[in-house]
Amino acid sequence: MTAEPHAPPPTNPCAGPAAARTGSGRAHAKVILLGEHAVVYGAPALALPVPGLSCTASAVLSAQPGHGLTAYRYRDAAGDAAASDVGSQAPKALRHLVKTLLNRSCPGEVLAVDLALDNGIPMGRGLGSSAACARATVNALDDLLQLGLCATDVFDLVQLAEGQTHGRSSGIDAWATGSTRPVLMTGGRVSAPTVGAPAWVVVADSGEIGSTKEAVALVRETFHREPARRADFLSRSATLTATALEALDSGRLELLGRQLTANHRLLFSLGLSTPALDRLVEVSLGHGALGAKLSGGGMGGCVIALAGTSQTAFRLATELTRQGARGTWTASIDERGADD
Ligand code: PMV
């Protein structure tokens, strides 16, 4: 007589092996090539991953009793550690994110985790730092508890944190901080644009901290006061992005560059630039960039400059640093995606 095979008892992902594990997660920075702000209203925008700037997260089940985030350590881009390791001093958005993920994935369990973030992405520079921290955290908890979250689950959780950090957000940061390829977002949906020829983007930090939440609110108030400006801005931004996509597809980098510079002027007209950003744009255009613009929320943060060769990108980065940029990074536009 042979024994019937037994179905294995259902396993609780939150019990057992996780006790001895460290979960690791990672996400990277992004810049917006075209279409910021317009994308909040459903118009298209194009983002580029910056894999050289990243945030890593480590999560363990806490030895202390509690629920949600118990201990939290944060090290920033300058290598400075936050003074406190008490979980209650973590950003509200991260605490909410951890609690929500644990409640959803391990219903009925009272679980506490300790989280350490090593964030090399400067905050408040339009580089997607908050989204990358949230994404690295979700990935670390997914790894710790072996949840097998799908891309949409991860996106939804990152968006939950982004909603608390920035208020209304399009979701482009939440996708682009986890993508190795350029990301096109239109009407809330994402796809990968085709790239006809490689190009390089130099990112230059003005050193000024901008608040995406305030910038988005400023645009919303302007549109509320002057509805005609909303229609005009959205239609111009959409046209620039559409032309840029054609230029990217056919490898016409000069045409692409012109769309970037025109997009800078459009964002300037809404009061989103600063003298420091304008100056970095001028320096870029005067030293071989095919186009340049502020990137992200604006009112501070970074400028991006398009270069047709890696040599031009290197020269641009050197000149931008000489002319006051606090940091520069280079990312390539390449359909195959960057190594991450
Ligand atoms: O996080 P930032 O500064 O890159 O801003 C994101 C771009 C915005 O269009 C201004 C906001 C959004 O949610 O898309």
Structure tokens given for 95: 């605490």
> How far does the centroid of ligand 1 lie from the alpha carbon of residue 168, in Å?
9
> Which of the listed residues 206, 216, 303 should we mutate to test ligand 1's pocket, taking the one with most ligand atoms within 8 A of CB?
216
Cα of 108 to ligand 1 centre, how many Å? 36
Q: Taking a C-beta distance cutoff of 8 angstroms, is the pair 309, 253 a contact?
A: no
Would the CB of 281 count as within 6 Å of ligand 1?
no
Q: Is the CB of 296 under 6 A from ligand 1?
A: yes
Q: Is 301 left (phi over 0), alpha (psi -120 to 50) or beta?
A: left
17-186: CATH architecture: 2-Layer Sandwich (3.30)
With a 6 Å cutoff on the Cβ, whether 300 touches ligand 1 is no
If we measure between CA atoms, which residue out of 171, 177, 55 comes closest to residue 121? 55
- Which three-class secondary structure string do you get for the chain? CCCCCCCCCCCCCCCHHHHHCCEEEEEEEEEEEECCCHHHHCCCEEEEEEEEEEEEEEEEECCCCCCEEEEEEEECCCCCECCCCEHHHCCHHHHHHHHHHHHHHCCCCCCEEEEEEEECCCCCCCCCHHHHHHHHHHHHHHHHHCCCCCHHHHHHHHHHHHHHHHCCCCCHHHHHCCCCCCEEEECCEEECCCCCCCEEEEEEECCCCCCHHHHHHHHHHHHHHCHHHHHHHHHHHHHHHHHHHHHHHHCCHHHHHHHHHHHHHHHHHCCCCCHHHHHHHHHHHHCCCCEEEEECCCCCCEEEEEECCHHHHHHHHHHHHHCCCCEEEEEEECCCCCCC
Atom 13 (ligand 1) nearest CA: 169
Output the average pLDDT for the chain: 91
User: Contact at 8 Å (CB) between 184 and 55?
Assistant: no
The count of residues in the chain is: 340
**C-alpha–C-alpha distance, residues 268 and 262, integer Å:** 10
Rounded to whole angstroms, the Cα distance separating 51 from 92 reads 26
**What fold is seen in the domain 193-333?**
Alpha-Beta Plaits (3.30.70)
The closest-lying atom of ligand 1 relative to the alpha carbon of residue 210 is: 3
Cβ(177) – ligand 1 distance below 6 Å? no
Q: Domains of the chain: which residue ranges?
A: 17-186, 193-333
**Contacts of 101 by beta carbon, 8 Å cutoff, 6+ apart:** 138, 141, 157
Above 80 in pLDDT, residue 5?
no
Query: Is any ligand 1 atom within 6 A of the Cβ of residue 121?
Result: no
> To test the ligand 1 pocket, which listed residue (170, 234, 294) has its Cβ within 8 A of the most ligand atoms?
170
- Cβ contact 126:32 at 8 Å: yes
Alpha carbon of 234 to ligand 1 centroid (Å): 15
Please write the tens of the pLDDT for every residue from 177-225. Answer: 999 999 999 999 999 999 999 999 999 999 999 999 999 999 999 999 9
* CA–CA gap between residue 321 and residue 229 (Å, rounded): 36
CB-based contacts of 211, cutoff 8 Å, min separation 6 = 124, 297, 299, 300
Ligand 1 atom nearest residue 162's Cα: 13
- Centre of ligand 1 to C-alpha 14, Å, is 34
Q: What is the pLDDT of residue 167?
A: 77
How large a percentage of the chain has pLDDT more than 70?
91
Say what the pTM is. 0.91
Ligand 1 lined by 178 (C-beta under 6 Å): no
The residue contributing the CA closest to ligand 1 atom 14 is 170
pLDDT at 331 over 70: yes
pLDDT in tens, 237-246: 999 999 999 9
Query: Is residue 301 a contact partner of residue 290, using CB atoms and an 8 Å limit?
Result: no
The answer on pLDDT for 96 being more than 60 is: yes
Residue 296 alpha carbon, nearest atom of ligand 1: 4
Q: What ligand 1 atom has the least distance to the C-alpha of 129?
A: 1
The reply to whether 193-333 shares the fold of 17-186 is no
Place of tokens 């030293």: 287
Contact yes or no for 33/165 (Cβ under 8 A): no
- Would the pLDDT of 82 be above 70? no
Q: What is the pLDDT of residues 31-78, one digit of tens each?
A: 999 999 999 999 999 999 999 999 999 999 998 888 899 999 999 877
Has residue 339 got a pLDDT over 60? no
The answer to whether the beta carbons of residues 284 and 185 sit under 8 Å apart is no
